[in-house]
Copies of this chain bind each other. A is one copy, B any other.
């Protein structure tokens, strides 16, 4: 019988049952592991691996025929060198994280606009005081860089709250969700920044996105603008961002992704004013909906795999997403 190795660190028992039942119907047997390292000694028994942090499995899995990544980000797997089987199929779970990450973006953006961290500090000291000046998502001019699932779900929510939403992407000829008022190419970003109130970065880590929000581009943002990054830390010049925040040439930033992660104890970001840091948790799989979507996407692909059909959610290792 064909066998699947599944990492169960993010799975509920109900979801494990689901996977086991669906696999059995398709002629597969499932074994569960708590991490990729556990799979390595027995990897040759499995033709499919469904999990994350998979480098050791890929490097050892000469006979592995499909790696179904439960995460959306795939930057560890782009180099040919990590694949013991160069013909191994590869899918990811981009599309499962848009709901939770967009809710995170809304939360941190509202916290910045409404100056909630200041209010929390005062209330922690039992001081009944509110911020001098708050701002609204209603009427806010938002620029979203990256129009995948995360960017699109974020745009829909912000649009429903009355924001003006512009999208920026690599390929402007692809169709866009109606939540975007207009779509621009990355090359046009410089023109958009001076009238952007909130810049939201939700791009994957690729050669093209590295340093996308550069020092000169940060300078183009208004002094009262906000930056939110939920993609990858590499998308912005972190030193330039810190300088801008310290110099009050930006009103604030919310970073869920940084370089490096975890942030070292002596990193200057910890002491930067008006920055709201979260530990790369915006897409946490503790959210029930996200887990279910990741499993749904895997099982949909498992049926296709069993039927010899092309797999969905297959990223390009060349493009990086």
**Which A residues lie at the B interface, using CB under 8 A?**
99-100, 103-104, 106-107, 110-111, 113-114, 116-117, 119-120, 122-123, 126, 128-139, 156-157, 160-162, 261-263, 265, 270, 277-281, 284, 286-289
Tell me how many chains of this kind the complex includes. Answer: 2
Q: Which B residues touch A138, using CB under 8 A?
A: 99, 103, 289
Closest residue on chain B to residue A116 by CB atoms: B107
Contacts A99-B162, A107-B110, A128-B262 hold; do A135 and B287 have CB atoms under 8 A apart? Answer: yes
Contact A126 B265 (CB under 8 A): yes
Known pairs A99-B162, A100-B136, A279-B128; A111 contacts B119 (CB<8 A): no
Would B111 and A278 count as touching, CB distance under 8 A? no
CB contact under 8 A between A270 and B126, given known A104-B114, A110-B107 = yes
Chain B residues positioned under 8 Å from A106 (CB to CB): 106-107, 110, 161
Query: Could you say which residues of chain B place their CB within 8 Å of the CB of A289?
Result: 136, 138-139
CA distance A218 to B157 in the complex (A): 31
A274 to chain B, nearest CB (A): 14
A129 and B261 CA atoms in complex are apart in Å by 11
Cβ contact within 8 Å between A129 and B287: no
CA distance A136 to B101 in the complex (A): 10
Which 7 A-B residue pairings sit nearest by Cβ, starting from the closest? A160-B160, A128-B262, A130-B281, A107-B110, A128-B279, A133-B286, A99-B138
List 11 other contacts, CB 8 Å, given A138-B289, A156-B160, A160-B161. Answer: A100-B134, A103-B137, A104-B114, A107-B116, A119-B279, A122-B279, A128-B262, A129-B279, A134-B286, A136-B287, A160-B160
A141 to B: closest C-beta gap in Å: 14
Q: List 29 A-B contacts (CB under 8 A).
A: A99-B136, A99-B138, A103-B113, A103-B136, A103-B137, A104-B110, A104-B114, A106-B106, A107-B111, A107-B116, A110-B110, A111-B116, A119-B281, A122-B279, A123-B278, A126-B263, A126-B270, A128-B263, A128-B279, A130-B280, A130-B281, A130-B286, A133-B286, A134-B281, A134-B286, A134-B287, A156-B160, A160-B160, A160-B161
The answer to whether A131 and B286 touch across the interface, beta carbons within 8 angstroms, is: yes
Contact of A114 among B103, B113, B160 (CB under 8 A): B103
A281 and B110 in contact, given A136-B287, A287-B136 (Cβ under 8 angstroms): no
Residues of B within 8 A of A100 (CB): 134, 136
Instruction: Give chain B residues whose Cβ lies under 8 Å from the Cβ of A133.
Output: 286
Alpha-carbon distance between A134 and B135 when the two chains are bound, in angstroms: 27
Query: When the two chains form their complex, are residues B160 and A279 in contact, meaning their CB atoms are under 8 A apart?
Result: no
Chain B residues whose CB sits within 8 angstroms of the CB of A284 once the complex forms: 130-131, 134
